Structure 1
Amino acid sequence: MGAPQDWAPYSSVDEAAKVYLRDPELALDQLRSVVDLPAIRSFIMSRGFSDGSWGDTDENPLWQEVVLTDGHRLIIWRADDEVTTVDDRERRVLNASVRTILLSTITDHVLTTEYEVFDDGTRRLSEVRLRMYTQLITRSRHRSLTETDIYCESFRYYKSVDNGGLAQMQRLLQFGRVLSRCME
């Protein structure tokens, strides 16, 4: 597959996946196993290269992600290229997973927009950030006999002029707004 096309102009996750993801059939098969695609209310996609290379090749390992909601759940498909060693032999692996989180476990949802303001008073959308914090405890640390720091899982998504462009920023805004309307 060559350079990916922008996924944002596509309203269906299957069309967007086919032009944007390296492994669209795998993603769609795994997503179909947990959600009916017509039930998807909104989605976003991201991909990028991980540090390093796959063993002795110059090819960079890729990560791909689809995040969607059906109005009740946050569903995350993620695939990462990895290198494992088995019997002193390096092996390239694609590690793909689907995670489902009830929207009712999201306790805080922050949708931030940043605008560049010009001298004439006009403004241009330059960055969108979505942060979600859950009740899902990932770790805790005792500070003293009576104090414990508790860390909950969070999810962060970011699009900007340089990272996805205007259409992907607008889709992240749409996704964040749909999530906000669906949270109980």
Structure 2
Amino acid sequence: MGRFSRAARIPTQRRLGPAGSDWSPHQRLDDAARAYFLHADVALEAITGVLGRRRVRGFTLERVVDLTETGASVWQEAAVCDGRRLILWHSEEVSDDGSPGGTILDSSVQVLPLGAIRHVGMRTLVGRDAAGRRIERGVHLVLATGTPHELQPVPGGDPDAPIAAARFRPEAFRFSKSLDDGGPGQIARLIAFGRLMGRLIPG
């Protein structure tokens, strides 16, 4: 998985959820980032520096805390589509004893032409609320490229040749939301983002 994939994170995570941090009501990237990210100025500078004058067609945001032996580290991510490119911004706090506060922010941006995306997969979890109405309880989105990212050995049956072949795993970016992780608004926004990507990638 790529650095921007949640699947690459450690499993001990909890949401940062102060009141008013839900980004889903905000249609503009600028407003959503400022309502949600701890380092919105860094994120927006990195993203708008790539966007230039192009219009944002859709986006999704993520923010979690990794709990490690050394403490908690904030991890933030944005995936933005301008109609021809997928722009991925990622940041996390890295320990640095020489920096005031003991941490620095590692901020990075990755840009992919939509033609590089070979597969869009989206799975939704549909349930019922207390009144029997249908609701989306979660969504998982996968954007896979044709770029080999990981080599997986295929075991062979011959003791003299324990590895029979190798299978390449493509680079993939994964996003997910649930009622506990983001709520119904962010579920709906991620579904809309996944549908947008499915419509825009070249056939």
Q: What's the TM-score once normalised by structure 2's chain length? A: 0.78
- Residue number in structure 2 paired with 1:63: 75
Shift of 1:121: 5.9
Higher relative contact order, structure no. (Cα contacts within 8 Å, ≥ 6 residues apart):
2
Shift of 1:91: 4.2
Specify the code of the residue in structure 2 equivalent to 1:73: R
Q: Tell me the distance in 2 between the aligned counterparts of 1:121 and 1:164.
A: 22
Q: Tell me the distance in 1 between the aligned counterparts of 2:38 and 2:118.
A: 33
- Residue number in structure 2 paired with 1:97: 108
Specify the code of the residue in structure 2 equivalent to 1:23: H
What is the aligned counterpart of 2:48 among 28, 32, 50? 32
- Residue number in structure 1 paired with 2:173: 155
Aligned residues: 176
Name the SS of the counterpart of 1:166 in structure 2: helix
Q: Tell me the distance in 2 between the aligned counterparts of 1:161 and 1:142.
A: 37
CA deviation profile, 1:15-66 (whole Å, cap 9, x unmatched): 111111001111111111100365110001010101227x6xx6x2101111
- Residue number in structure 2 paired with 1:75: 87
What is the aligned counterpart of 2:39 among 23, 26, 33? 23
CA, structure 1 residues 64+120, in 2 after alignment: closer, same or farther (shift >3 Å)?
closer
Q: What's the TM-score once normalised by structure 1's chain length? A: 0.85
User: What value does the CA root-mean-square deviation take over the aligned residues?
Assistant: 2.5
Specify the code of the residue in structure 1 equivalent to 2:138: E
The answer to whether the Cα contact below 8 Å between 1:13 and 1:37 also exists between their aligned partners in 2 is: no
Specify the code of the residue in structure 1 equivalent to 2:142: R
Name the SS of the counterpart of 2:87 in structure 1: strand
